[in-house]
Amino acid sequence: MIRHLLSGGDVDADTATLILDTATEMATVAGREVKKLPALRGRTVVNLFYEDSTRTRISFEAAAKRLSADVINFSAKGSSVAKGESLKDTALTLQAMGADAVVVRHPASGAPHRLANWVDGSVVNAGDGTHEHPTQALLDAYTMRSRLGRLAGLHVAVVGDVLHSRVARSNVLLLSTLGAKVTLVGPPTLIPVDIAQALAPGIGVSYDLDAVLPNVDVVMMLRVQRERMNDSYFPSAREYARRYGLDVPRMRRLPEHAIVMHPGPMNRGMEIAPEVADSPRSTIVEQVANGVSVRMAVLYLLLGGNNL
């Protein structure tokens, strides 16, 4: 097993499949009256969040607690980070406290990689800037596999603000490893063609959502990351929704079996219409539930937990 999980490219097909299979086992715990396993008793997991988060932070906390680990939640607000403490000094503090795993979200791309050099425990990247978010890619793969029965040979359209999306980057890497075909769709200003090709060979790019929809098994909508935009990448929110938003008429262009995904948080009415987000084809709520099982599997395998 790998020691850290920093990138969707860190896992080969066998390791990814082991994580997904372990997550399937973990999911059975969620259905029990006592949702707890003793696997990580006595181990310490620190959640280090320098950036806002709802789903991911709660999900990692639930995952660690269901495995009986001791969980320390650290958010940059209200800590000495607000006094200017560096990531390195924070890392040394965590090290002194004996953290077995550090789950980190940070606005700077590459911060988890730096952290991995400073602590002895395992580092899990919970989202670094516009770079990567590997557990999101794993939970997305898990959701596709459980809805559609396989990953190899699936055609996945990743739609929207690819340029600023760590979810897209990690998904492209992992899905390519697992034998799915990926097409990136969005306005040319938000699709870095050279970056797509450099990430994984054979990635498709299209600027025409209507043309792509009839040929996909999965459509993954991305949030328009306005907080990361310091330029105007499209004329207006209305114009964006008109060309790249998934509304009901567009959803009807999908094959019967195709699913609609979104990592959340959504801009309802912009990249996705409310009727689509709440439709039976949407896996958005399932993705959140699956996230806990997948993060349990990741923590369990990285920390070499006791037998289940």
Residues that bind ligand NCD (CB under 6 A): 55-56, 127, 133, 136, 166-167, 223, 225, 263-264
| Nearest partner of 217 among 254, 163, 253, 176, judged by Cα | 254
CB nearer ligand NCD, residue 165 or residue 176: 165
CB nearer ligand NCD, residue 77 or residue 252: 77
Closest distance to ligand NCD from the beta carbon of 151 (Å): 20
Residue nearest to ligand NCD (CB): 223
Closest distance to ligand NCD from the beta carbon of 17 (Å): 23
Q: Which two tokens stand for residue 209?
A: 């959502």
Q: Which helix (H) or strand (E) holds 260?
A: strand 259-261
CB nearer ligand NCD, residue 4 or residue 166: 166
CB nearer ligand NCD, residue 39 or residue 298: 298
Radius of gyration from C-alpha coordinates of the chain: 19
Closest distance to ligand NCD from the beta carbon of 290 (Å): 12
Q: Which helix (H) or strand (E) holds 172?
A: helix 166-177
- Say if CB 281 and CB 253 are below 8 A apart: no
| Nearest partner of 49 among 139, 125, 117, 110, judged by Cα | 125
Closest distance to ligand NCD from the beta carbon of 135 (Å): 8
For residue 230, the number of C-alpha atoms closer than 13 Å in the C-beta half-sphere is: 0
Closest distance to ligand NCD from the beta carbon of 225 (Å): 6
CB nearer ligand NCD, residue 177 or residue 290: 290
Closest distance to ligand NCD from the beta carbon of 185 (Å): 16
- Say if CB 295 and CB 135 are below 8 A apart: yes
How many other C-beta atoms lie within 10 A of the C-beta of residue 113? 16
CB nearer ligand NCD, residue 43 or residue 166: 166
Q: Which two tokens stand for residue 266?
A: 């959504």
- Say if CB 196 and CB 162 are below 8 A apart: yes
